[in-house]
Structure 1
Amino acid sequence: MTRSTTDPAPEPGSSSGDPPQPGAGSFRPEAGQGRTRVLLVAGFVLASLNLRPALAGMSPLLNEIMSDLGLSPAAGGGITTVMVVCLGLLAPVAPALATRLGLDRTLLIGLLILAAGVGLRGAGGVTALYAGSAVVGTAIAIMNVVMPGVVKQHFPDRIGLFTGIYVSGLVTGAASASALMVPIEERYGWRTAAGSVAVLAVAAAALWAPQAFARRRGGRAAGGRRPYAMLLRRRVTWYVMAFMGLQSLTFYIMLAWLPTIFRDAGLPADQAGYLLALTNLAQIAATLTVPLHAGRARSQVPHVVMAAVLTVAGYVGVLLAPATLPWLWMIVLGVGQGASIALALLIIALRAPDPASVTALSAVAQSSGYLLAALGPFAIGLLHQLSGGWTLPLVTGILVCGVQVVFGVLAGLPAAARTGQVPDRVGEVW
């Protein structure tokens, strides 16, 4: 029997119109004592801070690494490419681990693999550098995928809040690593600077370990199987995949080329770097606020549209007047891009009915998303080389934003709006 249209609105955070179902270890008063809840949240936050430093912290060290190891610019750029490709190709590893071990232990394994990869990366020559980078990419891929499932499992009635918290941790970790790598390198060398990220990973693993090995009712709540064939038959899966991929593409285009665009417009190199840092800071404001508000809404469409509008406005500002009020364009662009990634990850958590399904949807969305994102900087660079300027590349980026908003709207619609019905059970339509 379906609900009438006069029924009260569902609780925020449900995937298909039903109140959220508490999972094992969910963030409720009866789930444990206050100290246990504090450790859970603290471990979750510290884990989120590890999602980007090992990736973002390499760019400021690239010149020193290339000089020390005799790498060409193409080979130096390959360090980041290896990590981003691994983010896409190895994302499906996470659901397989979660099926056997549960989400909490899978996150712990990701943190330990990250620490090992960071250590390997700076321990030897070129082979160790690339091998360690591949291990780092694998670890980040695992953690990327399981974090939405961890939110669904432990905080089912606070999905918007904790999505905002962990995406903010992701952005904060990236910005902090970018800022700290050069001072550490100047004092201790690039190997110590690059290896310093392992300290954060080990600290997070130590704090998360009690949660990973805790015994609780319900066992491995996220360990249920979710066949990919069934997942891929649902239209919403493809909408979420496309939205995740396209917003990642528009982000990595700007991440790779913004400093060069500003320098070609006549701005000093240091100012170009500060502007890139500014757009990262603006993302934090969006990731803290947008998921909290959007997670309470039945439809995320208005938020998706506004985020795309702001991203396009940032692109247009950089295209038409890169040297005029560049700080304004960076704030607008940062808010738009920060809101977009936060919404993509929030929608993954909202559209699937249980932690296992969230993990599977996260895997397919992030796998396709990062593989697409890896092509963006190369394609834009090629367009710049062929056209001799930045107009064609930036117009292409704006067009991609237009496609992004289409799939974002389709992904942001609740199940009832997409199908014309409200399901009787969680997960019947999503």
Structure 2
Amino acid sequence: MTRTTADPGPDDLPRSGIGPPSKPSRRTTQVLLIAGFVLASLNLRPALAGVSPLLSEIMDDFGLTPAAGGAITTVMVVCLGLLAPVAPALATRLGLDRTLLIGLLILAAGITLRGVGGVVALYAGSAIAGTAIAIMNVVMPGVVKQHFPDRIGLFTGIYVSGLVAGAASASALMVPIEERYGWRVAAGSFAVAAVAAAVLWAPQAFKRHRRDRGAGGHRPYAMLLRRRVTWYVMAFMGFQSLTFYIMLAWLPTIFRDAGLPAAQAGYLLALTNISQIAATLTVPVHAGRARSQVPHIVGAALLTVAGYLGVLLAPVTLPWLWMIVLGLGQGASIALALLIIALRAPDPASVTALSAVAQSSGYLLAALGPFAIGLLHQVSGGWTVPLVAGLLTCGAQLAFGVLAGRSPTPGVPARVPG
């Protein structure tokens, strides 16, 4: 079989710790590689998830309106959409490993900046952190392919689970840190994790080896955009992201306004993030074997709707149950969106292109959520109208998900081999 530029060759093996000359060296290299990879994945969401538990304190300190408070998350999500195409260009020039290292260092700088200055530093630091996450989002799947070519499923699961676990950790820890040291220290605390990941990853990034394979390559964007299924996938990715970021930005505030303590509100957001792990580890495995993903998409959307309804109608009655239900629905939704990107594109180059356009458009759409919900709350004076708007978004997610998840046309693979 002809080897493509994305396929690893024998000279690539020492990079992944498989073929160094001695066993101690091999073990050390492998441990550093996996530890750096896992810690990098844990840094993909705390900068986003750590804002909402602190939002009331930030708004009080700077005198921000609810719409302006929601715009902090919006700025970051806009960067995820607009700047995702920067990552392939960096990876082609510098290699995947060094691009990931740059992303971690930029992330640490952005997190630190937003906790040390005024309003301008708050938004500028958020934009810098969002830029870093955009780069890392795109690079991480390529890192999996490069370093773990025979264990892609395993390390993809580890990476997505690390993403979710990082968000859960930030949600749970922000309020206790804020109560002891203030919101500025809490907001900047995860810069330490980014620096630690950079330190662990630096030996890998500065190894002398050939430029990373598969970072560039032809991406048939024009051909993809002529296919209707591409637009369905883009819309599904966008609306499921929108329903997620609405809750990520405002859920602790909703619970606090309903009468729950600040710490409990943060723990509930952490619970919904932890619950996602059960779905991200199981749903893609089952759905990937099916010709149509529609039943899974419907189930995920209904769980998300049930979580929204619980928060709307009975926020202080069994809130932990609503968070588990919401987390399962949202975790299954993002896993299905990423799975469908792989299933609906006919070749690796098209998968890369579809992933780029879907994530860029999806995050740009999702960026409207926190700001729009904050504005609706500001105008209506309560959370009923914003949450009803969120439920309508869930309906759009379901509609486009069904279109994207239908059985592919003849000649298009139903699932990814292997």
Q: Normalised by the size of structure 2, how large is the TM-score?
A: 0.81
Contact persistence 2:311–2:322 (CA under 8 A): yes
AA aligned to 1:138 is: T
Q: Which residue of 1 aligns with 2:409?
A: 419
Q: Which residue of 1 aligns with 2:332?
A: 339
Q: Which residue of 2 aligns with 1:17?
A: none
AA aligned to 2:128 is: V
Tell me the SS of whatever aligns to 1:276.
helix
1:356-384 per-residue CA deviation (whole Å, 9 max, x = no partner) reads 55444333222211221121234345555
Aligned-partner Cα distance in 2 for 1:131–1:218: 32
AA aligned to 1:420 is: P
- 5 Å-filtered alignment, 1:370-409, equals 370-383=363-376, 390-409=383-402
More deviation, 370-379/251-260: 251-260
Aligned-partner Cα distance in 2 for 1:62–1:295: 38
Aligned-partner Cα distance in 1 for 2:131–2:326: 29
Contact persistence 2:284–2:335 (CA under 8 A): yes
Q: Which residue of 1 aligns with 2:23?
A: none
> How far is 1:354 from its partner?
6.5
Q: Which residue of 2 aligns with 1:32?
A: 19
> How far is 1:167 from its partner?
1.8
Q: Which residue of 1 aligns with 2:213?
A: 220
Q: Normalised by the size of structure 1, how large is the TM-score?
A: 0.79
- 5 Å-filtered alignment, 1:99-118, equals 99-118=92-111
- 5 Å-filtered alignment, 1:245-264, equals 245-262=238-255
Q: Which residue of 2 aligns with 1:235?
A: 228
> How far is 1:48 from its partner?
0.7
AA aligned to 1:142 is: I
> How far is 1:351 from its partner?
4.6
User: Is 1:56 the counterpart of 2:43 in the alignment?
Assistant: no
1:112-167 per-residue CA deviation (whole Å, 9 max, x = no partner) reads 21122223333433333322221111101111122233334444554443332222
Paired residues in the alignment total 402
Aligned-partner Cα distance in 1 for 2:258–2:181: 35
Aligned-partner Cα distance in 2 for 1:351–1:376: 27
Cα distance, 1:120–1:277 mapped onto 2, change above 3 Å: closer
Contact persistence 2:70–2:249 (CA under 8 A): no
Q: Which residue of 2 aligns with 1:175?
A: 168
More deviation, 335-344/258-267: 258-267
> How far is 1:320 from its partner?
4.2
Aligned-partner Cα distance in 2 for 1:242–1:156: 30
User: Is 1:93 the counterpart of 2:86 in the alignment?
Assistant: yes
Q: CA RMSD in A?
A: 3.5
Question: How many percent identity over aligned positions?
Answer: 85
1:273-319 per-residue CA deviation (whole Å, 9 max, x = no partner) reads 44333222212222233334445556544432322221122223334
> How far is 1:260 from its partner?
4.7
> How far is 1:189 from its partner?
4.1
Tell me the SS of whatever aligns to 1:418.
coil
Contact persistence 1:160–1:294 (CA under 8 A): no
Pick one of 41, 45, 48 that aligns with 2:38: 45
Aligned-partner Cα distance in 2 for 1:127–1:323: 36
Tell me the SS of whatever aligns to 1:207.
helix
Q: For structure 1, which runs of at least 5 residues remain unmatched after alignment?
A: 1-20
1:240-298 per-residue CA deviation (whole Å, 9 max, x = no partner) reads 21111110111122233434544565656554444333222212222233334445556
More deviation, 197-206/124-133: 124-133
Contact persistence 1:91–1:367 (CA under 8 A): yes
Q: Which residue of 2 aligns with 1:82?
A: 75
More deviation, 27-36/178-187: 27-36
Q: For structure 2, which runs of at least 5 residues remain unmatched after alignment?
A: 1-5, 21-25
